[in-house]
């Protein structure tokens, strides 16, 4: 298999190929990026976002000054949340808000769900392959509340199955916390079916959408999901440290309350009242002043996803992933490289992890040459395949370099 030739063919017929020109060019000279395969960790900025951030500083902040809070910023968390909800999450308006980091929103949602569950349901079900912050927050909530953690131990090369969950939940289940797409393997958990299984026993689900938002359809409303959280600086292009989003299904908004009651979530913010009264809808999930500077860039990526269609984004993620798998089978397997992600594109998100005992040193070498994937413990090279910005040619260059380094 001639990887460069095959990549050229795929790029030539890629319906999203032109999107790449919309991004800020990635480095030149000694700083040149040959292949950026970390868009699932820090998405590349759109040129439109550079302009939008500049406008924010010079106009909204620089000229309109504090008047911008009234003119646009007070409603920004809900307005952006609704945009992400409608374009990426299958959520109708009024259920999604952009506020704190993923970690903090996860705490707020999990803590709230544990408080809402009856005392006969003290268990939080989670898995050992989830992202560290999810596990650490759950440990903290358990220590704080006396909730009991029930651990699933899925195969690291795949992920949590419906059967795993069915075998762990029951009348003592309060909340099930899972990632939709596994951050290492890219395994897509069966969100609708797992949600159904948890609801059947009377539990709540809290889905982490960090690695699916903006690349895969999620369908929160259709699946009847209770709570969800997700990142905006990965596939949603919000920029480093951009705040996350939280989803609380409309049916729970009257009954589930968040633990960090702050003035910005109050029903009448500027009344500065004597005591807390939760704001209406998703305003109640805001705590303090939201990070406006970090919020605005994601809007350009959401607009772009809407204009090309999320189905086209997903289709390209599949095509990029299939290209990697085919290349490993045809060439890199001979150097001892293994695919540590699902081969079935229907079960694989927007990245592919390759396993090899020398992955750590190979990744360090690649970074020095402008080929940028992620090293993931213990032996993974994770190739982030961000459909709007990644070309097949970039993927080919990275694979050829990995092959050479291992040859
Ligand atoms: C990226 C990621 C996070 C990040 O949390 P932050 O609070 O934004 O640092 C959390 N959970 C998962 C599953 C992630 O992939």
Cα(134) to centroid(ligand 1), Å: 8
Q: Which of 129, 131, 184 to mutate to test the pocket of ligand 1 (most atoms within 8 A of CB)?
A: 131
> Are residues 97 and 245 in contact, defined by beta-carbon separation less than 8 angstroms?
yes
Alpha helix segments (H runs only) across 189-309: 191-200, 220-223, 298-308
Does 131 qualify as catalytic in the annotation? yes
Burial (CB count <10 Å: 0-12, 13-18, 19+), residue 86: middle
Judge whether 334 and 404 are in contact, CB under 8 Å: no
Predicted local confidence at residue 177, as pLDDT: 98
Selected catalytic residue, list 38, 127, 208, 226:
208
Which residue has 């909730």 as its token pair? 147
Ligand 1 atom with minimal separation from the 104 CA: 7
Q: What is the DSSP string of 213-238?
A: TTTS---HHHHT--EEEE-SSSTT--
Q: Which residue has the least CA distance to atom 1 on ligand 1?
A: 210
Kindly report whether the global pTM for this prediction surpasses the value 0.85: yes
Residue in 233, 245, 247, 392 annotated catalytic:
233
Give CA separation, 93 vs 96, 100, 188, 307, 333, in Å.
Answer: 7, 19, 25, 19, 47
**CATH class of domain segment(s) 74-305:** alpha beta
Atom of ligand 1 nearest to the CA of 102: 7
Nearest to 122 by CA among 135, 132, 131, 113: 113
Q: In what order do the strands lie in the sheet with 374-376?
A: 338-339, 351-355, 380-384, 374-376
109, 246 contact by CB (below 8 A): yes
Residues with CB under 6 A from ligand 1: 101-103, 131, 133-134, 179, 183, 208, 210-211, 231, 244
Indicate which residue of 184, 234, 316, 401 is catalytic.
234
Among protein residues, the one with the nearest Cα to ligand 1's atom 5 is: 102
State how far the Cα of 89 lies from the Cα of 246, in Å rounded to an integer: 11
Q: Give the pLDDT of residue 143.
A: 98
The β-bridge relationship of strands 123-127 and 227-230 is unpaired
User: What residue ranges do the domains of the chain occupy?
Assistant: 3-46+309-406, 74-305
- Please report the pLDDT score of residue 324 as a whole number: 98
Catalytic-role residue among 111, 184, 316, 382:
382
d(CA 198, CA 74) in angstroms, rounded, equals 36
CATH architecture of 3-46+309-406: Alpha-Beta Complex (3.90)
Q: Ligand 1 centroid vs 231 CA: distance in angstroms?
A: 6
Kindly list the averaged pLDDT for each block of 10 residues, start to end, along the chain of length 407.
Answer: 97 98 86 92 97 98 98 98 98 98 98 97 98 98 98 96 98 98 98 98 98 98 98 98 98 95 97 96 98 97 98 98 98 97 97 97 96 95 97 98 95
Say which residues have a Cβ less than 8 Å from residue 170's Cβ, sequence separation at least 6: 201
Strand partners, 179: 208
Q: What is the predicted pLDDT for the residue at 401?
A: 97
Residue nearest to atom 6 of ligand 1 (CA): 102
């Amino acid at each position: 298999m001639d990887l460069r030739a095959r990549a050229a063919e795929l790029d030539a017929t890629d319906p999203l190929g032109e999107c790449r020109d919309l991004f800020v060019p990635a480095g030149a000279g000694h700083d040149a990026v040959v292949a950026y395969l970390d868009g699932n960790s820090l998405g590349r900025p759109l040129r439109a976002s550079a302009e939008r951030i500049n406008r924010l500083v010079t106009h909204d902040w620089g000229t309109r000054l504090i008047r911008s809070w009234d003119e646009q910023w007070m409603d920004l968390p809900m307005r952006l949340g609704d945009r992400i909800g409608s374009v990426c999450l299958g959520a109708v308006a009024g259920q999604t808000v952009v506020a704190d980091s993923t970690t903090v929103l996860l705490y707020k949602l999990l803590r709230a769900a544990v408080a809402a569950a009856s005392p006969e349901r003290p268990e939080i079900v989670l898995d050992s392959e989830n992202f560290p912050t999810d596990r650490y927050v759950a440990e903290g909530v358990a220590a704080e509340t006396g909730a009991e953690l029930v651990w699933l131990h899925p195969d690291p090369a795949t992920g949590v199955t419906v059967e795993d969950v069915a075998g762990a939940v029951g009348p003592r289940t309060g909340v099930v916390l899972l990632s939709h797409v596994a951050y290492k393997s890219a395994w897509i958990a069966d969100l609708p079916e797992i949600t159904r299984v948890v609801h059947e026993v009377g539990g709540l689900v809290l889905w982490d959408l960090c690695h699916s938002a903006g690349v895969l359809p999620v369908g929160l409303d259709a699946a009847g999901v209770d709570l969800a959280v997700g990142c905006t600086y990965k596939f949603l292009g919000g920029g480093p440290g951009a705040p996350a989003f939280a989803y609380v299904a409309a049916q729970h908004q009257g009954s589930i309350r968040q633990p960090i009651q702050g003035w910005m979530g109050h029903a009448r913010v500027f009344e500065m009242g004597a005591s807390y009264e939760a704001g209406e809808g998703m305003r109640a999930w805001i705590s303090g002043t939201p990070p406006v500077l970090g919020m605005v860039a994601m809007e350009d990526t959401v607009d772009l996803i809407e204009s090309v269609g999320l189905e086209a984004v997903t289709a390209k993620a599949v095509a990029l992933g299939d290209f990697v798998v085919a290349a490993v089978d045809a060439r890199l397997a001979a150097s001892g490289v293994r695919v540590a992600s699902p081969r079935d594109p229907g079960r694989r998100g927007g990245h592919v992890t390759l396993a090899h005992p020398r992955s750590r040193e190979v990744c360090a070498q690649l970074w020095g040459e402008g080929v940028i994937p992620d090293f993931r413990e213990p032996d993974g090279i994770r190739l982030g395949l961000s459909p709007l910005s990644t070309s097949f040619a970039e993927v080919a260059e990275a694979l050829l370099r990995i092959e050479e380094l291992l040859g």
